[in-house]
Structure 1
Amino acid sequence: MDQNYEKQPFYQLLRSTRFPKAAMAAGLSGFLITTLVSLAIPLLTRNLVDGFSVASLSTPLIAGIAAAFLLQAVISGLSSFLLSYSGQKVVAELRGRMWRKLLRLPVSHFDNEPSGGTVSRIVNDTGIVRELISDHVPQFVSGIISIIGAVTLLLIMDWKMTLVMLISVPVTVLIMIPLGKRMAKISRGMQDETAAFSGSIQQTISEIRLMKASNAEADEEKKGLGGIGRLMQFGLREAKIISVIGPLMNLVLMAVIVCIIVYGGIRVSSGSMSTGTLVAFLLYLFQIIMPVTSFAMFFTQLQKAKGATERIAHILGLEPEPGQTGGSADIGGKAVTLDRVSFSYSAEEPVLQEISFTANPGEMIAFAGPSGGGKSTLFSLLERFYEPDSGMILVGDVPISELSLESWRRRIGYVAQDSSMMSGTIRDNLLYGMDSTGRPDDGKLWAAAEMAYAAGFIRDFPDGLDTEIGERGIKLSGGQRQRIAIARAFLRDPLILMMDEATASLDSHSEAMVQEALSRLMEGRTTFAIAHRLSTIVDADKIVFIEEGRVTGIGKHKELLKTHPVYRRYAEQQLV
């Protein structure tokens, strides 16, 4: 963890962005101008009331007043836009930095972090920061200016009346501080609950077929309604505080207005104060009370923004995958060696222990053994989703940890049992992950599809390569998804091929076509294959039998039949 980020207060985090200082300064300056203009309005009102006569009204005076109000409206609108622009720019940069960081975090981070919570950090938490910058900071600044200016002018006009009016300020502050703290606590709780609820909803929708096939509607309904209920409780607690703040502030405001009117009326009747001055006092009262009421929301939003930026800073401070930089993977004609590799997800549960073998160029290395033995974890280490706890994986005599991740993974083609597809078109999935420059043209796409026995069904679609396949490729059959994955591997032209029981879930017709496509793909490439069915690996150059995280046998099919009792039992069960 980068401790500089973890300890960074939210305002320093904002300063670390490319903050549009000119736009922010212009926006705040505009608010300053409009606030100063609004401070002059009560004085103008006083003069109009005290010296009002029909004869005093003239076209230039009316035009001047109208122009002043129009100019104020234009400046206010422009200032609001500039401040909103500043907020959007800051949030866009924060979201961009978070997204770039998330894409480069190790797989282990996502093993422990709910996806909904991560989405909430990028969308909701950054939105809170935007609201603070665009809405609440300008209101706070203009409110401070308005209060200082109004109080100064009132003291000059009549200090006795001002003291009577200022009694409301400490009363308001005493009311707002505890309520504001309570509101901040509730808001933080709502943020966390929103993140948890988003994650739960996202998971349920993404696995909608599993949910329906399992008749789990009632369970998911209960979980969802529970989250909705908890969000409602936070909302009601927030509403209670707001319902207290509003009436209390109205009560204080009305009490002060009554006091000012009564005291001012006495002063006006005695001749020690003019009617215009009393009207000005009332107008200035609103300019003081209204900002004070908004301060509670500002400090609440400030607390929410602090909590949000703590979570943003936490993500930005996470260490990326090791190996983002390094040498290029020139692995052509070189063996891949695992030298006493051990790995565990936690210290209490070792998964792989002292794994050693060598894959020579062009060989097919198959992994067999009981489920849970560590075969898939071994693939994850070869893909560098995780780093070994001890031992090394080498290509030639160079540890793959010294090669850049991009360069290493570009040399690997992966075909899984249930090949993953991205939402979009067939073309998008064939080209997924390839550089935008030098991408293969349609001729090469069709050639790869032919090699993978995928061209036939692609042509049957009305839109061909531009056919939308739905989320996770749901509109395609398992065999079609596998053949698109194989075509994608052909386009990548990898030196190392990894297959995780690529035909296990297919019907016999699809399996035959996919197996033929895989045979084409394997030609001339170093291949690692996980197999639960021994019939798919009997011709492998080397079979590595793994039990409980340890290699218990290495050899060809016939060799293991003679020397490995467990393998022989597997073969007798499956190959008879």
Structure 2
Amino acid sequence: MRDALPVASSRLLRSYLRGVGRDHRRDLVGIVLLHGVAAAAGLVVPWLVGDLVEAATDGAGGYGTIDRLALFIAVCLAVQTVLTRYARLRSAVFGETVLARLREDFVDEALTLPIGVVESAGTGDLLTRTSRDVDTLGWSVRFAVPETVVALVTVVCTVVAALLVGGWVAVPLVLGVPVLWVAARWYLKRAPDGYIREHASYSRINATLAETVEGARTVEALGLGDQRRARIDEDIAESYAAESYTRNLRTVFFPAVEMGYVVPVATTLLLGGVLMDRGTISLAELTTAVLYVRFLIDPVDRILNWMDTLQVGAASLARLLGVAEVPDDRTPTGRTPEGEDIELDDVRFSYVAGREVLHGVDLELAAGERLAVVGPSGAGKSTIGRLIAGIQGPTTGAVTVGGVGVTELELDDLRRRVALLTQEHHVFVGTLRDNLQLALDEPGTAADDRLWAALDAVDARGWVGHLPHGLDTVVGSGGHRLTDAQAQHLALARVVLSDPHTLVLDEATSLIDPRAARSLERSLSAVLEGRTVVAIAHRLYTAHDADRVAVVEDGEISELGSHDELVARGGSYAALWKSWQS
């Protein structure tokens, strides 16, 4: 099972929310005041209704008093409606502002995630956070948070207004608290972990589906269909169990809450009736008190109902903020490399603790040297390339550029010095020009002749010139579809534009047919003149053209030398070359 990305701790969650509160204090105060005034305008109505009932019962003041009271009620309701409208508008704008900030923060953190961590977690977890969790949190921020703020302000104002009727109203209000307190405490103790488990199950489902779809041909070729179906069944069963748990929490919580509503209203009627019978309070006061207690049900009910949505939103927020808790894989020291030589000193590396992939690799690369790394699949060739490119740091030993460890350099600095190009490629949505300029320190600054020069260097001018709009052709999802070979041309052109002094090619031309790949690599040789090149390949003509060849077997460099030297030695490389030639 893949290692899931972390979930933010309660401390980080509270810290983030406090930060939002500090940064938007004025907006929050304005929203609360607007809702408070709106609630106060509405809470005048029960007083007026009480007087209206008493006036209608006693006949005091005649129809004129009743009409005036009815007019005041209408005015208060109109004022409440207008104020509520603007308060909700301010709340909605505030919610969208906070959500936009969170999305930007999440994208910033996601883009700085160590690639090794992303690969370990799989795409399913990250995709679930960027899609489902963002959508869920968006719903909470847009609706649950504003509605809860409105309800909280209304509850406070209503309680104050009820107590102004008479101190006796505190008795029914207090009697309703224990039921609601116990129910809410029981629910809140269990809900957060339940919803985090539920969301994690969605990540596992997405990861399994993505892996199955991406590896569909492999699944079919190896007859793994039943195994993959069993895996997704297990993931769905776990998701069902997680959702059943949170559903069971709700089936206990909400009925208990309903009981908590009945107690205050019934107690107000009973106690108020006794007091009115004794002449302690009037009918108007009893009516007003009952209305206030009854009015409390709606905002309290909204708080408790939205509490469920807020718990889901909090779980999503914790998952989104959890990306920031991924430890950095590098510790920049500020040292500047002295030269461009690369050295691997007694390098050992493990993807999984206790299972070494590399066993004490030593290698020195002079600036401008071209090294071909060959060997059987699974021997550790790509791992060496990844370590040189600084994708991950060695478990023990050192990988240095100009005497400085690759994990001691700022990531931007490292990328300007060393670039890794694999057989995997991505075409971004946008014009071809946009895709090329991504490789520049300041995108959008390159003149077209520089872009065409990069395309010329990788033999891509021909097909680009035949596109409907040339460099302005929209590519990527929904745009003009590039073939795998064209997409790889694009990736290679980006490397030319980025201008690194060291280039690691990990099967970079594997998706292009051998004849075209051979032509491409010959054209690249002129562009890469003077650069350090580490070419990891199965096609041995790459090794034939290299300055030196490193043969990797079982996590170690078993042979190192020029093509002619290794062929003359008659070892593993000579056997590979003979097999390749035959």
TM-score interval for Structure 1 and Structure 2 normalised by the shorter chain:
0.7 to 0.9
Which of 385, 396, 403 is the aligned partner of 1:390? Answer: 396
Aligned to 1:574: 580
Shift of 1:364: 1.4
Deviation for aligned residue 1:562: 2.1
In the alignment, which residue of structure 2 is the partner of 1:406?
A: 412
> How many residues are paired up?
567
Partners of 2:467 and 2:473 within 8 A in 1: yes
Mapped contact 1:364–1:528 kept (Cα < 8 A): yes
SS at 1:279 equivalent: helix
Closer, same or farther: CA 321–328 of 1 in aligned 2, 3 Å: same
Query: Are residues 1:536 and 2:542 paired?
Result: yes
Task: Look up the match of 2:13.
Answer: 10
Matching residue within 14, 21, 45 for 1:41: 45
Contact residue 150 and residue 287 of structure 1 kept, 8 A = no
Q: Please report how far the alpha carbon of residue 506 of structure 1 lies from its aligned counterpart in structure 2 after TM superposition.
A: 2.8
Q: CA deviation at 1:368?
A: 1.5
Counterpart among 13, 28, 35 of residue 24 in structure 1? 28
Q: Is the 8 A contact 1:169 1:289 kept in 2?
A: no
Distance 1:136 1:400 in 2: 51
Structure 1 unaligned runs (5+)? none
Distance 1:38 1:233, change over 3 A: farther
User: Offset of 1:382 from its aligned partner?
Assistant: 1.0
With 163-172 and 29-38 compared, the bigger mean Cα shift is at: 163-172
TM normalised by structure 1 equals: 0.84
**Pair 1:99 & 2:103 matched:** no
Distance 1:226 1:555 in 2: 51
| Cα RMSD (Å) | 3.9
- The equivalent of 1:316 in structure 2 is 324
Matched, 1:71 2:74: no
Identify the range of structure 1 (352-361 vs 414-423) with the bigger mean alpha-carbon deviation.
Answer: 414-423
Which whole-Å CA distance do the structure 2 matches of 1:250 and 1:394 have between them?
67
Q: Cα–Cα, structure 1 residues 318 and 552, in superposed 2: closer, same or farther, change >3 Å?
A: same
Structure 1, residues 542-564: CA drift from partner, whole Å, max 9, x if none?
A: 11112112122211111111224
CA distance 1:225–1:462, shift in 2 (3 Å): farther
- Please give the per-residue CA displacement for 1:489-537, whole angstroms capped at 9, x wherever unaligned: 2222332232223333432442343233323333232221112122222
3-state SS of 1:538 partner: helix
TM-score (norm 2): 0.83
Alpha carbons 1:426, 1:467 under 8 Å: kept: yes
Counterpart of 1:428 in structure 2 is 434
Deviation at 1:25, TM superposition (A): 1.0
State the match for 2:63 in structure 1.
Answer: 54
CA deviation profile, 1:17-39 (whole Å, cap 9, x unmatched): 46311111111122222222333
Q: 2-side partners of 1:408 and 1:299: how far apart?
A: 47
Measured after TM superposition, the shift of residue 286 of structure 1 is 1.3
Q: What amino acid sits opposite 2:123 in the alignment?
A: S
Distance 2:401 2:256 in 1: 73
Distance 1:217 1:550 in 2: 36
Look up the equivalent residue of 1:130 and give its one-letter code: V
Contact persistence 2:343–2:399 (CA under 8 A): yes
Which runs of 5 or more residues in structure 2 are unaligned? 1-5, 57-61
Q: Is the Cα contact below 8 Å between 2:330 and 2:409 reproduced in 1?
A: no
Displacement after TM superposition at 1:204 (Å): 5.1
- Shift in Å, 1:322: 1.1
Asked if residue 444 in structure 1 is aligned to residue 447 in structure 2, the reply is no
Partner SS state of residue 364, structure 2: strand
1:138 maps to amino acid? V
Quote the Cα distance in structure 2 between the aligned partners of 1:250 and 1:401: 58
2:151 is aligned with 1:148: no
- Residue equivalent to 2:59: none
Shift of 1:444: 1.8
Are residues 1:560 and 2:566 paired? yes
User: Structure 1, residues 32-91: CA drift from partner, whole Å, max 9, x if none?
Assistant: 222223332111111122224322356x76665444322222222222233333333334
- Describe the SS at the equivalent of 2:545: coil
CA gap 1:38/1:542 in 2 versus in 1, 3 angstroms:
same
Structure 1 stretch displaced more, 258-267 or 516-525: 258-267
Do the aligned residues in 2 keep the contact of 1:426 with 1:469 (CA within 8 Å)?
Answer: yes
1:170-181 aligned at under 5 Å gives the runs 170-174=178-182, 177-178=185-186, 181=189
Q: Any residues of structure 2 matched to 1:157-236 within 5 Å, and which?
A: 159=168, 163=171, 167-174=175-182, 177-178=185-186, 181=189, 186-203=194-211, 231=239
SS across alignment from 1:51: helix
